[in-house]
Amino acid sequence: MNFKLSRLSDYEGIKGPLLLMILDGMGLYRGKKDGYPGNAIDIAAPRTLCRLMENEKIVTRLRAHGTAVGMPSDKDQGNSEVGHNAMGAGRIFEQGAKLVEDAIESGSLFEGKTWKRIISNSLTAKTPVHFIGLISDGNVHSNIAHLISMIGQCDREGVEEVYVHGLLDGRDVPPLSALRYFGELEDYLWSLRAHAAGETGRKRRYLIASGGGRMVTTMDRYEADWSIVERGYNAHVLGIGPKFSDSLTAISALRDREGVDDQYLSHWVIHEPDNPEKPLTQIRDGDGVILFNFRGDRALEISRAFIEDDFKGFRRDHRPDVIYAGMLEYDADTKMPPEYLVAPPAIDHTLSEYLAHNGISQYAISETQKFGHVTYFWNGNNSARFSEKLEKWVEIESDRVPFDRAPEMKADEIASQTIAAMQSEKYKFLRLNFPNGDMVGHTGSLRAAVKAVEAVDRAADRLIEAVDKLGGTVIITADHGNCEQMTAVNEKTGRPVMGAGGGYKPQTSHTLNPVPFIIHGPDTGRYELAGVPDPGLGNIASTILLLLGYEKPEDYLESLINISPPRIRRQSSGPVPCTERGSRQSPLLLNPLQ
């Protein structure tokens, strides 16, 4: 493969380091702004980011959701996985949700060897099929429609027992929406049981067997807290946990008892109707197990718990010999899991690979919660470096405390280590991710999200000062929106929704809002916005190459900027100055291209 990059004829590239600063979850609110109370960025009025929006020449907004990042439709939220894929690949690939949707619609999922093996085993050995995953239509980690399609196919093919081990969302969907999703699933399973019994006399044992909130059960990532996976494993596999008669009773009772959003509700197990001490099922030798989440980061650890012989995450009191499959292959480098239902997108020729082949040194850093995004996802779902000599990855361990209690997270440490890396003069291209806007935004705490924005802004100020001293250039952007829209909005009226007991209803999910794109550096007088139609995150890679003095590969999306002859730098006329406070809107809320 040819990875040779051609030099630009009219621009030799920036002199100092190039820093890409990703403000995770910090988008540009584009709804009705007058009186909107839920924009953490607006309330924080971040001094550094406001200054850049006011004074820089290259300021625009990018699409970070829907088809712009490979999702099925523009009604689908962006997320950190697909956002970093798009930024690092320079092109748009169909992502998990779209791949699965197409495979189900075409029937190819059910014709695949893994699906056929699981169904054949169930029919021959009279063993159950277990489904584990997130029950919602958030389309970030999973979609309940995919699960229902697969359960329906199990019924059509004659599988007698199906058990669902469902995880509550409340993060990519409204925080107290689990009863709706589990109610829909319970109704569907009942209809299959009733139809089988009434029409043909067949017996169907199609039931929800266990569950728990996603942030405390099963769905840990980056080995941040193995106890989360252990809790889920014991509930799903061994039937260990507080027992309830059905999923809706479990959710309602735990909400009353614990007073937390769905994502934090404790794990639970459904018991046999005539024996409150006996779990409805356990996962035993010979069973089929399908993890129906399509996103990889929170699917890897539970997959390893089923697959690895030398597993060390926690003590498994019993490891059943099952046929285990993921919806996708979650890690192409480690081949985890070995069996899966739908092939993931084959993302090749990423920006990092081009830079490594052309001798350009790179540095990537974040804390645990987003470390995989600036490495694995950025590199096209590849967990290995392209060059051990030219690439350095730094992970700062995240604190194991709720993010709304420590909204500053590790922003200061990330800034300090990045500054040291730039000052070493070892790295030409550096990228970092500040997780605060996303991780704190998901808690639903507006007060904490404001503090998160303030922490990121302070860190950004330190980084920009350091870059300026080194004669470098900074790109600031985000992978998707979140903390700019912390209060739910009525889709018809555009007004904030009032919650129970007064106050506004919190929103914990990602948004459909665009994200900022800013360039700050000594050469910006030579840059002009290229006028790319509907620019998105996929255009960033070509822009980085241009700043480094290289032409883009032929199949990459266009650069966001062009190079013009040297001239006197002029101030952007787009954003409203930060000093204009009458509307309580910071420039980050505005579209500079109106």
For the annotated catalytic residues, the residue numbers are: 80
What does DSSP say about strands 205-213 and 268-272: parallel, antiparallel, or unpaired?
antiparallel
CA distance 105 to 202: 27
Backbone angles phi and psi of 516, in degrees to 5:
-75, 160
Q: Are strands 515-520 and 561-563 parallel, antiparallel or unpaired?
A: unpaired
Q: Which helix (H) or strand (E) holds 134?
A: strand 129-134
Residue 483 corresponds to which tokens in the numbers above?
């903390």
Give, in order, the Cα–Cα distances in Å from 198 to each of 152, 158, 202, 203, 322. 17, 15, 8, 10, 32
Which residues does 537 contact at the CB level (< 8 Å), separation at least 6?
62, 63, 64, 68, 69, 78, 83, 86, 87, 477, 479, 515
**Cβ(441)–Cβ(403) under 8 Å?**
no
CB 451 within 8 Å of CB 470: no
Helix (H, G, I), strand (E, B) or coil at 108: helix
Name beta bridge partners: 270.
244
- Give, as one character, the DSSP assignment of residue 508: -
Looking at the chain, the number of H-run helices and the number of E-run strands are 17, 17
Longest dimension (CA), the chain: 83
DSSP 375: I
